[in-house]
Structure 1
Amino acid sequence: MKLSVQEQAANWYKDELELEKDSSLRFFVRYGGVGGLKPGFSLGIRPEEPVEPVAEDTVKDVQFYIEQEDAWYFDHHDVTVYYNEDKQEPDFEYKDTTS
């Protein structure tokens, strides 16, 4: 599993969450929501220091990461966080790595 955060998405998170240099932002699995990889679940975000990251990307001096306890959600998928111009916010793209 790989995590990639595009620069425009990173800028949005920095601005909206007022993240400072050397901050960390966790993507975590939550019950509910729409548009997730697995029905009934979606991704949430939380400024938090990593404990056991399994995937990470540092962009604009912010570490974006996924913890080991949430790896099951991605089950053979890479995730790219990009800025969706239509929605004016970040969105997620999942790529199956089994093929």
Structure 2
Amino acid sequence: MQITVTDAASKWFQTEVGLEPGDGMKFYGKVYGKTPVHEGFSMAMVPDKEPDRPVAETEKDGIKYFVNYGDAWFFEGYDFVIDYDPQTDEPIYQYVAQPEA
């Protein structure tokens, strides 16, 4: 699994969430909701500077974006792209199917 954060998304997290270099953002699955690839679960995020056995991690503008081991099930089989939608002024999330081995 790979995480990609676009420049526009990084700027949004810095401006709207107040993330600064050295900070981090954890992504995970939670009960209830829906994503394009999950029924009954939605994606959640929380500022967190300390990854716990990350299965995927990337750094953009000095900020870590990651998924921990315990949440790998939610993203299994997908790369995770974090982008920004200027019409809604919110991040958008894409789950890109990984090629089968």
With structure 1 as the length reference, what TM-score do the two structures score? 0.90
CA RMSD, 1 decimal: 1.3
Aligned counterparts, 1:50-65, within 5 A: 50-65=51-66
How far off is 1:36 after superposition? 4.8
User: Does the alignment pair 1:89 with 2:90?
Assistant: yes
**In 2, distance between residues paired with 1:34 and 1:88?**
20
Q: Could you say what secondary structure the match of 2:35 adopts?
A: coil
Letter in 2 for 1:23: D
- Alignment partner, residue 16 of structure 1: 16
Q: Which consecutive residues of structure 2, in runs of 5 or more, have no partner in the other structure?
A: none
Match of 1:38 in 2: 38
Distance in structure 1 (CA, Å) of the matches to 2:35 and 2:72: 18
Is 2:28–2:74's contact at 8 Å kept on the other side of the alignment?
Answer: no
Higher share in strand: 2
State whether residues 77 and 97 of structure 1, in contact with CA within 8 Å, keep that contact through their aligned partners in structure 2.
yes
- Distance in 2 between residues matched to 1:51 and 1:36, nearest whole Å: 26
The alignment of Structure 1 onto Structure 2 pairs a total of residues equal to: 99
8 Å Cα contact 2:25/2:66 also seen in 1? yes
**Percent identity between the aligned chains?**
28
Find the counterpart in structure 2 of residue 77 from structure 1. 78
* Residue segments in structure 1 that go unaligned for 5+ positions in a row: none
Where in structure 1 do 4 or more consecutive aligned residues deviate above 3 Å? none
